[in-house]
Homo-oligomer: A and B are copies of this chain.
Amino acid sequence: MSIDRFVAQSIGRWKSQRSAHSLAFQHFEAVLSTIDILNVELDDSRVVELCKSYNINPEEVTSPFYMQWEGTTDWDDDQVTKGSTVLVPVPDRSDASKGKLLREQGYAEEMAAVGEYYFTDDGTFVLITSYDRASAEERIWFVNPNLRFRVSSIKTSEGTGVLTASFSSEVRSTSQTEDSTA
């Protein structure tokens, strides 16, 4: 798997079901959301700005993309969670199966972040992002072209304590393919 193919497979609208587990308290949270993933031009000003802030040569960038999401959680029926971010992959020059992923805004914290990604031999995308006091690991893989799974976990930066884990099943949302994937 390459990051270009992975991004290309991800482009589209996804209906997401997400379950979050609070491991210490054995609490469950259920979130339904819609996720849109769109291509972004290499010369888009947001891509250029991100490269500048991380001191990355824009020519090393490939397949930048934009993600937006909007969802509701069973923890608070009135609250709609929404957000968006631009993500910029920067593959390693020596090994295209891994690299950096720049983000305008992280999932776990509302700040810019840079993660390290790699692909396993069976095509799972693994992203590790370190924050000040925590680190997040995300594993994403395609079950078929219209279904992807995503497992995230957040642990303290000391490394041993995993705080929350979550699982998302994401079904491509288009009238033609919906029936055959779910």
Q: Which residues of A contact B (CB under 8 A)?
A: 15, 17, 19, 21, 23-24, 26, 28, 30, 32, 74, 120-122, 124, 126, 137, 143-144, 147, 149, 151, 153, 155, 160-163, 165, 167, 169, 171, 180-182
Asked if B149 contacts A143 (CB within 8 A), the reply is no
Known: A23-B171, A28-B30, A120-B120. A180 touches B153 (CB 8 A): no
Copies in the complex: 2
27 pairs across A/B with beta carbons < 8 Å? Answer: A17-B21, A17-B26, A17-B28, A19-B21, A19-B28, A19-B30, A19-B167, A21-B169, A23-B171, A28-B30, A30-B30, A120-B120, A120-B121, A120-B122, A121-B121, A124-B124, A143-B155, A143-B162, A143-B165, A147-B162, A149-B165, A151-B151, A151-B167, A160-B180, A161-B180, A161-B182, A162-B182
Pick the most buried of A24, A165, A169: most chain B CB atoms within 10 A of its CB.
A169
Residue of B nearest to A163 (CB): B182
Known: A124-B120, A151-B151. A144 touches B165 (CB 8 A): no
Residue of B nearest to A149 (CB): B151
Contacts of A122 in B (CB 8 A): 120, 126
Contacts of A32 in B (CB 8 A): 26
